[in-house]
Chain A
Amino acid sequence: MAAPPVLECKQLGQRYRARGGHQVIFEDLDFTIPGCGFVSVVGASGCGKSTLLRLVLGAERPWRGTLRSNGEPITHPDRSRGIVFQKYSLFPHRTVLDNVVFGLELTSALGLPRWLAGPWFRGPRHRDFTAQAMAQLRQVKLDDHADKYPHQLSGGMQQRVAIAQALIMKPRILLMDEPFGALDPDARESLQRAIVAAYHEHQTTVVFVTHDLEEALYVGNRLLVLGKPPGRPSAGARIVFDQPITQGASRDAPETQALLAHVRRVGFVDPPAT
């Protein structure tokens, strides 16, 4: 018997309370991620991309349908699914190193806050945790900044720490919610390369949500597009495109351009330029 899929999403729908009833965000989402893969999810704003991530994470309850990870229903956020948000991904009261150690530290019995625990009262496993965290930070080239606090770093560096913080727990799925949306173009490109490299190194499943279609095409090896049915703006979004794509394809290649044109035709609306 084949192993259960990493993520299985059946007839998934979500709606929120709105004035005088409910607003359906999306419905009838069906997709399966069988094993390791880098799935880019794009859609115009309001299509429920972030809602989908929160459901996969287990941070909210679906209205309809089921979500399973490795055959188990998803009921709450746990360490098998990591997340990187666009903002507020790091703990402001912890240094870079302590942010990365956070998850490991929770597994030790002495889960005391740093100022209570202090360097003199750390469990024997802590040295091991620190070594692991430093190795993880070296991978994202931030080992020189281990003792800084998040607010002392640039936005791009903060997101690198957030990625290290999530990956150190070796999650089955790494969820990313517009992680590079607030960065300048240079930092953005370098992080896109970094996340693809991290994907190859860790062989984990990545679900990457963005509203930038070109970014989605560059980082992913499968593209999933959410869109509202044409002419019915109040209806819930659905999957309008779901196909494997070539990861790291050149932006100017004719195939990429054709794909972009096709996705825009099937229902993806580019956000207004900011």
Chain B
Amino acid sequence: MTRAPRFRAIIGSPLAPASRIVLGALGVALAVAAYEAYVYGHERGGGNPRFSPGFGQLWRAFGELTDLDRRTETVPFWVDTRASLAILAKGLGLGIAVSAVTGIVMGVFSTVHAVFAPVVTAIAKVPPTAMIALFMVVFGVTGDTFKVALIVFGISPTLAIGIMLVARAVPKNTIVKAYSLGASTPQVIAKAIVPQIIPQIVEMIRLSVGPAWIYLIAAEYINSSEGLGHGIELSKRMVRIDHILVYVIWLAILGTAIDFALHGVSRLVAPWSTTRKDD
């Protein structure tokens, strides 16, 4: 009797969907186990349990944070979440709008590119956190304008350059083709260039959500009366490591949800690109 040959997996071999799910769950389990091991080791070594809250303690901390504040009749945790998401949405929305317009225009028109590309590239090199002081003076220390400004400044130049690069990389043939079918220049941009690069634009937006969170949390640390960064700052003052960790886990969940949503947007807007394999 002959035995079926055992195939060796090589780099690039696809994985069955079921295996991917099982292995992904394994990864989560490993992270949980690693944390529990730390908690156990820390306590065995006589460490202060305040610095090593177990999962039970984290759950209780979540309960405390989501308790109703009798004085204000609100739940600070949800107030913080709503405040942070509102600023994030404003910053991302404004940043995406600014960089999509400038990126596409720079990518399409070589004269605009020649004028603005060097400046934008230089601006993108400024560490956005270096602008915190300036924005606080210009946009006011109170209020959210300086946080929105920081996010916009932080994500726009890089995003604009990225969009510019993909717009320039659109095959010239498809552009000439559109003209030869009777398209005007605005039609070439709206119907031949932009739709082709939408999946890549959404992909770059997904990548800039991370930096947007960085600038938001940084701004909230410095000056805020609400927001997730503010909540973390308060927990730090009260040395509530368990509260901080609840905020951190919550940030991870929010970030993943936004990423998922954007992936869904990409599939909805560009159904052609999800079925596409490399050519």
Contact = CB atoms under 8 A, between A and B. Distances in A.
Interface of A: 54, 57, 59, 76-79, 81-83, 85, 87-95, 102-103, 106-107, 111, 113, 115, 149, 151-152, 165-166, 169, 171
Interface string B151-195: 000000000000000000001011011111111100100111011
B279 interface: yes
A89 B190 CA distance: 18
B184 to A, nearest CB: 8
Contacts of A78: 179-180, 182
B277 interface: yes
B173 A87 contact: yes
B171 A88 contact: yes
B179 A76 contact: yes
A106 B196 contact: no
A57 B180 contact: yes
Please classify the interface of chain A as helix (H, G, I), strand (E, B), loop, or mixed, using the class held by over half of its residues.
loop
Given A78-B182, A83-B176, A113-B194, 15 more contacts: A59-B179, A78-B179, A78-B180, A88-B171, A91-B195, A91-B196, A94-B272, A106-B181, A111-B191, A113-B191, A113-B195, A149-B272, A149-B275, A151-B276, A169-B181
B270 interface: yes
B249 interface: no
B176 A102 contact: no
In this complex, which of B179, B190, B273 has the most chain A Cβ atoms within 10 angstroms of its Cβ?
B179
Interface of B: 171, 173-174, 176-184, 187, 190-192, 194-196, 198, 269-270, 272-273, 275-277, 279
12 contacts: A78-B180, A79-B180, A85-B177, A89-B173, A89-B174, A91-B177, A94-B195, A102-B178, A113-B195, A149-B276, A169-B182, A171-B180
A166 B183 contact: no
A88 B191 CA distance: 15
Contacts of B176: 54, 57, 59, 77, 83
A82 B180 contact: yes
B262 to A, nearest CB: 16
Contacts of A95: 272
A79 B182 contact: yes
Nearest to B199: A93
B267 to A, nearest CB: 12
Contacts of B190: 111, 113
A54 B177 CA distance: 11
A79 B173 contact: no
B177 A83 contact: yes
Contact of A93 (B178, B179, B195, B279): B195
Nearest to A174: B180
Contacts of B279: 151
Given A91-B196, A93-B196, A151-B277, A102 B191 contact: yes
A43 to B, nearest CB: 20
Nearest to B182: A79
B272 to A, nearest CB: 5
Contacts of A111: 187, 190-191
Given A93-B272, A113-B195, A149-B275, A102 B171 contact: no
A64 B206 CA distance: 49
Contacts of A87: 171, 173
B161 to A, nearest CB: 23
A93 B270 contact: yes
Contacts of A79: 180-182
A155 to B, nearest CB: 10
A85 B173 contact: yes
Contacts of A91: 174, 177-178, 192, 195-196
Nearest to B186: A111
Q: Which 9 A-B pairs have the closest CB atoms?
A: A79-B182, A103-B181, A88-B171, A77-B179, A88-B173, A93-B195, A149-B272, A77-B180, A85-B173
Given A57-B176, A149-B275, A165-B181, A115 B196 contact: no
Contacts of B276: 92, 149, 151
Contacts of A57: 176, 180
A91 B180 CA distance: 13
A252 B245 CA distance: 81
B180 A107 contact: no
Contacts of B192: 91
A6 to B, nearest CB: 16
- Max chain B Cβ within 10 angstroms of own Cβ: one of A82, A87, A113: A113
A106 B174 contact: no
Contacts of A90: 174
